[in-house]
């Protein structure tokens, strides 16, 4: 069963970039679908001004009388008569600006803190871990509500809020991963060879802790989409008239009985992005096996 590992097959590709470039990830069906959805929305977000048939804030009084889908407005309009398709397209821009920024910032802070804690141990680790415990003690939404109501809803405040709530979790994961690898012989060998901590982190440890972090990144991106959508839904998102999927859903809820599409279409857009992130996470998990 465990016959010698003397495989004559071509060398295994384990590097992160190599894995993305290689076809292993794309061999997973869920990853392919997830990636396709994300790329679709990314293209939509970038090309919004050219793709969208209308200005997302332009009001069509004629249409507002009957917001149902029509030849002029394929997906109909909202109550104010703004073209729903254009608003969803521009809403993708908001999502694809806020989410990557927030998640990237949370991972940067969390990963650095986690690595530092695991590598230096002792007081550094204790203080960082306690700080993380304190941040994790706040129920996420409560923290947002405090932060956003006191400092006002703006792009950067949302980014800061997401960073504060996600960084401790990322740090914990990173810390565990680094601790698991830190004691392995190849890291010891690098230390014994007098390599600098920075080199050891970058060249010896990081390439081997990638997969769980990537999976976590995908999952957290999904949560962030949910969260930012929820903030918008609660009226704490970006200030109007910026089109924001969560905010669009709440605008439509009251007309649910007559014009369900106003709420359902942006809800479907949010969900599709979350689903894509979760599928991608599953794909990475499969590839790692």
User: How many beta carbons lie within 10 A of that of residue 29, not counting itself?
Assistant: 12
Minimum distance from residue 186 beta carbon to other proteins (Å): 4
End-to-end CA, the chain? 17
Among 43-51, 94-102, 118-126, 231-239, the segment contacting other proteins (CB under 8 A): 231-239
Task: Give 190's contacts (C-beta < 8 A, 6+ positions apart).
Answer: 199, 200, 203, 204
Alpha helices in the chain (DSSP H): 16-21, 24-27, 29-46, 48-51, 61-64, 84-120, 122-137, 140-151, 155-182, 185-192, 197-199, 206-233, 245-253, 261-288
Minimum distance from residue 199 beta carbon to other proteins (Å): 9
Q: Helix (H, G, I), strand (E, B), or coil: what is residue 244? A: coil
Among 61-69, 73-81, 94-102, 147-155, the segment contacting other proteins (CB under 8 A): 147-155
Looking at the Cβ atoms of 7 and 289, the one nearer to other proteins is 7
Among 1-9, 21-29, 94-102, 113-121, the segment contacting other proteins (CB under 8 A): 1-9
Among 53-61, 77-85, 107-115, 263-271, the segment contacting other proteins (CB under 8 A): 263-271
Compute how many residues bind other proteins; rule: CB under 8 A: 72
Q: Which of residues 242-261 bind other proteins (CB under 8 A)?
A: 246, 249-250, 253, 256-257, 260
Q: Which of residues 163-202 bind other proteins (CB under 8 A)?
A: 184-186, 188-197
Q: Which of residues 75-104 bind other proteins (CB under 8 A)?
A: none
H/E run at residue 241: none
């Amino acid at each position: 069963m465990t016959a010698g590992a003397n495989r004559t097959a071509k060398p295994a590709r384990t590097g992160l970039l190599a894995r993305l470039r290689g076809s292993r990830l794309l061999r997973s069906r869920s990853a392919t679908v997830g990636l396709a959805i994300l790329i679709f929305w990314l293209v939509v977000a970038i090309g919004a001004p050219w793709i969208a048939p209308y200005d997302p804030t332009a009001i069509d009084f004629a249409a507002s009388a009957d917001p149902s889908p029509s030849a002029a407005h394929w997906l109909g309009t909202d109550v104010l008569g703004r073209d729903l398709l254009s608003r969803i397209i521009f809403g993708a821009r908001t999502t694809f600006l806020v989410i990557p920024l927030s998640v990237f910032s949370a991972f940067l802070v969390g990963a650095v803190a986690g690595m530092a804690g695991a590598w230096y141990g002792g007081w550094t680790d204790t203080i960082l871990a306690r700080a993380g415990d304190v941040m994790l003690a706040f129920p996420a939404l409560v923290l947002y509500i405090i932060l956003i109501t006191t400092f006002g809803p703006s792009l950067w405040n949302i980014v800061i809020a997401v960073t504060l709530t996600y960084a401790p979790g990322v740090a914990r994961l990173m810390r565990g991963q680094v601790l698991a690898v830190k004691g392995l012989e190849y890291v010891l060998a690098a230390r014994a060879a007098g390599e600098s901590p920075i080199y050891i982190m970058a060249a010896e440890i990081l390439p081997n802790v990638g997969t769980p972090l990537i999976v976590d990144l995908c999952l957290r991106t999904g949560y962030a989409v949910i969260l930012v959508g929820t903030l918008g839904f609660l009226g704490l998102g970006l200030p109007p008239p910026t089109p924001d999927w969560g905010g669009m859903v709440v605008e439509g809820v009251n007309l649910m009985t007559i014009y369900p599409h106003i709420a359902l279409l942006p809800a479907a857009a949010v969900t599709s992005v979350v689903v894509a992130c979760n599928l991608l996470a599953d794909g990475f998990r499969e590839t790692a096996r």
